[in-house]
Amino acid sequence: MKRDRFYITTPIYYVNDKPHIGHAYTTILADVLTRYHRLFGIPSYFLTGTDEHGQKVYQAAEKNNVTPQQHVDSTVVRYQELWKKLNISNDDFIRTTEPRHKIVVQKILQDLFDRDEIYRAEYDGWYCVTCERFYMEKDLVEGLCPEPGCGKKVDKIREANYFFRMGKYKDWLVKHIQDNPGFIQPDFRRNETLGFLKKDLNDLCISRPKTRMNWGIEIPFDSNFVTYVWFDALVNYISAIGYQSDDKKFSELWPATYHLIGKDILTTHTVYWPTMLKAMGVPQPETVFAHGWWMYGNDKMSKSMGNVVNPMDMIDKYGADPFRYFLMAEMSLGQDASFSEEAFTRRYNAELANDLGNLASRVMKLTEGHLESVANAASDEGDDESVLRDAVINAVRGLRESVFSMKLDQGIAGIAGAVREVNKYMEKKQPWTLAKQGRKAELSTALYYGIEALRIISGALYPVMPSKMAELRIMIGSEPPQNDYDSLVNWGQLKSGTKIGKMASLFPRIVAEKSPVKEENSADAKKPAAVPVDGVASIEYTDFQKVQLRVAKVLEAEKVQGADKLLRLVIELGAEKRQIIAGIALHYKPEDMVGKTIIVVANLKPAKIRGLESNGMLLAASSAGVMKLLSVDEVMPSGSVIK
């Protein structure tokens, strides 16, 4: 994909409370995408900020016995401090209480009013304070707010207000969405908006009388009213980049490449905002991308349920970079994802501590101990080196495509696969044995390939974990990654004779905290002991943690000659391909296997079966002579971790 500029926005966050994991996720995602585009050499601009008007802010201020301005001034700091802790590289942070924003909103309102795009009328309807929206009675669900994730009580209100003629743009909007498939993504969100537009599209109330609430931007043509918070907030995407104030900057950045939003504000961004822009005569954004929610088990995180994850707690406990990595690797963009500290620990230990951290530690220590901390380029390249080089570079190329296609988790899974490929190479070459045997040339080659792979991998993961990957770069004697993607797809950029620095522990393994010993007379002591199952050996949880289960896709399948029960499978596991010999030929034909998504044990030591190497094991269930392969209930990218 060709891009000559990149402008991304997050929603501006409502400052009536402290930030939670949803705010952190969207902002980290925007940051990671921006850093990747900078890495690719694409001029990029990243905007975030806070929404500081509206009834919820007004009520929160009243509750705390302060003015609304005092309330937002104290609350906005929480977001700014969190973004610093998360290493967010935004180019601008806009607050809707800033004069530069207020002036633009009032200019837009006056212009639309002068052109009869805004009119005054009496309104009789139902109002949701939480969503700050009016609804017709027919739209309510059992008398409650119909907005997904809300469902709260609504109030009957009758009052005069100003309305934007949104309804007149319905046919235009439907056609625009249909003619521009990339305008709303993922596709099923586009269908959701089109479904919403099958109903009549009402005009939009864009004011609130000061007699009810006076906290907001004053309507320029009627001082008795303030602006409805959504009409105010959405304008931030253009007011921050020079609309009506800096034509050059605005023309360079607009239209936005991505408006990143949560799925709960889809309607405001795919109906309100496009019609507002159309009325203003401003081009539409390229894409509104709605990501899913973070769930806790099967439930959406919410304050009322007491299951909201505080990002600050996770950062303080585990560090910002591992937290960033988990969020980016765990959620498939557009789908919901489940958060738990256990899931975080499993992925951290498997991919960061065991795979990447141990690889760096092993290579560094061997180079320091046997090559005087100097990396010397290989004199020749064998098949093993060629396979390793191609696996790493192909993973980086795949990552680039995943960024452009908004499948970031797949790209990260590919890099994680490349790390495992380097570990496989090390296990095969056994540089520790080469050192003992005095085979210095082979040792030098093996360690150079390990260090060069780390150089590329650290550059590829830098946008996700900027602090840790910069630290790793310094350790291996390389410069912190710059905006130079080409250096990551060209092997051998690490100069021969490079002096390696001191090794530090990048990702210390997380050890599960032991539960305190309970007294014999405690309530827990009265619970019945677990009954052992005959024929099933008990293992410790720490033993189970060592098993890495991953999703794989079958690329090729054929029978093993001379073996009735065996199939030779070639599987895709993230960015790598593997061969598995599986005893399923009596139950599955080779042609039936190709294209199947299966679950495999990914870290099983390779074994020889009928003279063929089997690198992993697939999982299947059997009963009464019937065997069925285990899989996942939804399509997942190969390399995905099974928890």
Per-residue pLDDT tens for 200-229?
999 999 999 998 888 999 999 999 999 998
Residue 641: band (very low, low, confident or very high) from pLDDT cuts 50, 70, 90: confident
Q: What is the mean pLDDT of residues 31-36?
A: 98
Of 546, 579, 606, the residue that ends a domain is: 546
Q: Percentage of the chain surpassing pLDDT 70?
A: 90
Give a yes or no: residue 349 inside a domain. Answer: yes
CATH number for the domain that contains residue 625: 2.40.50.140
Q: How far apart are CA 46 and CA 52, in angstroms?
A: 20
Q: What is the pLDDT of residue 528?
A: 41
pTM of the model: 0.78
Q: What is the pLDDT of residue 101?
A: 98
Q: Mean per-residue pLDDT for 46-73?
A: 92
Mean pLDDT of 515-537: 40
Q: What is the mean pLDDT of residues 490-502?
A: 91
pLDDT value of residue 26: 96
The least confident of 2-16, 39-53, 273-287 is 2-16
Based on the fold, state whether residues 352 and 462 are members of the same structural domain. yes
Q: Which strands, in side-by-side order, build the sheet including 337-338? A: 299-300, 294-296, 337-338
Q: Is residue 6 part of a domain?
A: no
**Long-range contacts at 307-315 (CB < 8 A, ≥ 24 apart):** 308/20, 308/21, 309/20, 309/21, 309/339, 310/18, 310/20, 310/21, 311/19, 311/20, 311/21, 311/23, 311/24, 311/82, 311/86, 312/82, 312/85, 314/344, 315/85, 315/86
Residue 530 has pLDDT above 50, yes or no: no
User: Mean of the per-residue pLDDT values for the chain?
Assistant: 88
Between 460 and 140, the higher pLDDT residue: 460
Residues 414 and 488 placed together within one structural domain of the fold: yes
Residue located via tokens 């969020």 = 327
pLDDT tens-digit readout, 221-246 = 999 999 998 899 999 999 999 999 99
CB 58 within 8 A of CB 102: no
Phi, psi of 427 (to 5 degrees): -65, -35
pLDDT of residue 360: 95
- pLDDT tier, 76 (very low <50, low <70, confident <90, very high otherwise): very high
Nearest Cα neighbor of 580 from 549, 596, 561, 556 is 556
Q: Which pLDDT does position 146 carry in this prediction?
A: 86
pLDDT at 286: 98
The model's confidence at residue 529, banded by pLDDT at 50, 70 and 90, is very low
For 592, the domain range is 547-629
Mean pLDDT across 517-524: 38
Question: For residue 140, is pLDDT > 60?
Answer: yes
Q: What is the pLDDT of residues 449-495, one digit of tens each?
A: 999 999 999 999 999 999 999 999 999 988 877 778 999 999 999 99
Distances (CA, A) of 201 to 168, 193, 439: 8, 12, 76
Question: Is residue 445 a part of any domain in this protein?
Answer: yes
Which of 326, 374, 369 lies closest to 346 in space, CA to CA?
326
**Domain end call among 527, 546, 565:** 546
DSSP output for 338-403: E--HHHHHHHIIIIIIIIIIHHHHHHHHHHHHHSTTEE---S---HHHHHHHHHHHHHHHHHHHHH
State which of 546, 564, 584 marks the end of a domain.
Answer: 546
Residues facing residue 258 across a β-bridge: 8
Residue type, 477: G
Q: Is residue 541 located within the same domain as residue 562?
A: no
- Among 86-95, 129-138, 525-534, 577-586, the range with the most confident prediction by mean pLDDT is 86-95
- The region of weakest confidence among 65-74, 379-388, 440-449, 531-540 is 531-540
Is 534 found in the same domain as 425?
Answer: yes
Coil vs helix vs strand at 641: strand
Do residues 134 and 123 lie in contact, with contact meaning Cβ atoms separated by under 8 Å?
yes
DSSP 3-state of 32: helix
Size of the chain in residues: 643
pLDDT of residue 309: 72
* 11 has a pLDDT exceeding 50: yes
Query: How far is Cα 50 from Cα 301, in angstroms, rounded to an integer?
Result: 21
Q: pLDDT at position 308, please?
A: 67
Same domain, 520 and 557: no
Task: Find the mean pLDDT for residues 42-53.
Answer: 96
CB 43 within 8 A of CB 80: no
Query: Does 601 lie in the same domain as 469?
Result: no
Residue with tokens 């050499």: 41
Shared domain check, 528 and 396: yes
Q: Look at residue 608 and tell me whether its pLDDT is greater than 50.
A: yes
Domain count, the chain: 2
pLDDT, tens digit (0-9, with 9 covering 90-100), for 321-359: 999 999 999 999 989 888 888 899 999 999 999 999 999
The answer to whether residue 356 is domain-embedded is: yes
Average the pLDDT over 81-88 and give the result: 96
pLDDT of residue 523: 38
Tell me how many degrees the CA angle 245-251-255 measures, rounded to the nearest 5. 110
Q: Is the pLDDT of residue 557 over 60?
A: yes
One domain, residues 357 and 468: yes
381 and 529 in a single domain? The answer is yes
Q: Is 439 part of any domain?
A: yes
Domain co-membership, 453 together with 600: no
d(C-alpha 450, C-alpha 460), whole Å: 15
Confidence (pLDDT) at 391: 97
Whole-number pLDDT of residue 78:
93
Residue 471 lies in a domain: yes
- For residue 414, the domain's CATH number is 1.10.730.10
pLDDT level of residue 518 (50, 70, 90 thresholds): very low
pLDDT digits (tens, 9 = 90+) for 148-196: 778 888 988 888 999 999 999 999 999 999 999 999 999 999 999 999 9
> Stretch 82-98: mean pLDDT, rounded?
97
Report pLDDT for 413.
Answer: 96
Q: Give every CB contact of residue 389 below 8 A, 6+ residues apart in sequence.
A: 381, 449, 491
- CA gap 616, 642 in Å, rounded: 15
The CA-atom distances, in angstroms, between 473 and each of 81, 281, 458, 478, 481 are 27, 48, 7, 5, 8
- Same domain (yes/no): 532, 553: no
Confidence check: pLDDT of 597 > 80 = yes
d(CA 608, CA 376): 34
Could you identify the residue written with the tokens 């079966």? 609
Between 586 and 32, the more confident residue is 32
Residue 388 lies in a domain: yes
The answer to whether residue 180 is domain-embedded is no
State both tokens at 277.
Answer: 């822009």
pLDDT one-digit tens code per residue, 583-595: 888 888 887 788 7
Clarify whether residues 601 and 526 are in a common domain.
no
pLDDT of residue 520: 36
Query: How does pLDDT run across 255-311, given as a tens digit for each residue?
Result: 999 999 999 999 999 999 999 999 999 999 999 999 998 887 666 666 555 666 777
Query: At 522, is the pLDDT very low, low, confident or very high (cuts 50, 70, 90)?
Result: very low
